[in-house]
Amino acid sequence: MATAELARALRSWRGRVHPSDVGFPDAGLRRTSGLRREELAALAGVSVDYLVRLEQGRARNPSTQVLAALARALRLSAAERDVLYRAAGARPPAAGVVPRHIGPGTARILERLADTPVAVFTASWDLVRANPPWRALLGVTGTSARSGNLVWRHFTGAPNPVVHTAEEHDRFGRHLAADLRRARADYPDDRDLAALVADLRESSPAFADRWDDFTIAPRDPERKTIDSPSVGLITLDCDVLTTLDSNLRIIVYTARPDTEDAARLARLRVTHE
């Protein structure tokens, strides 16, 4: 029963997503009003054959990673995402777990900023999505659980193209530790977050010191200098926007008009279109 419901739900949701909404050309004759199967498969990172089997009720027990990818690709709301999980026989993400779901509104914001370096992080600073300008600017190549976590990278000395003075590095670390403390309080049932904190305390004496300091200092908008592998040294305004429904952080890099940094950012856009 669950498999049949999943099949019907996927076909229904696929039919309502307009190709132009997700970056596909809306040209030529289309037998469906929404996305083609191959388009949805490409967006979700699954094979067309597997998607066909899901929509025909022949595939059982899709992984939570596949379900999350389908929810993002189909622009599902949080409530619809939960229906998707239950139809697949999976448990929806719990309220006490760090949200990773990018809702339709946030997805539209990312599309409108397609020529600007933008990335989305969770409340615990796991990288969820980074657009091509962001990846070109910072040289990002992966989003695995630990390599894509900003706090882990900072405190374990991973290569970082952002140029910090010793004082800036320390201040940034204090802010990250405070953010992780907030996330730990907001999402007490998240085992991955608990493991991250425990591993950081063991691996990094600097993090352990910051974790034991309960001071939470105010944060101001920042300017960051980046030694970009694509355009060299560039200084940009860094703004962090927080979504109300899922506590996701949208980081946006912009250049001040009529500056050499603006020219470098424009070159990055052109060379990575």
Cβ atoms of residues 159 and 207 within 8 Å: no
User: Is a pLDDT exceeding 90 seen at residue 26?
Assistant: no
User: Which uninterrupted H or E stretch holds 263?
Assistant: helix 260-271
CB 118 within 8 Å of CB 252: yes
Q: Which residue's structure tokens are 């970009």?
A: 228
- The residue among 215 and 185 whose pLDDT is bigger is 185
Please write the tens of the pLDDT for every residue from 229-256: 989 999 999 999 998 878 899 999 999 9
What class has domain 2-87? mainly alpha
Q: Kindly indicate whether the domain formed by 104-271 is annotated with CATH number 3.30.450.180.
A: yes
Question: Would you state the pLDDT for residue 222?
Answer: 84
Let me know: does 226 contact 161? Beta carbons within 8 Å. Answer: yes
Residue labelled with tokens 């009003």: 33
Q: Where in the chain is the domain with CATH 3.30.450.180?
A: 104-271
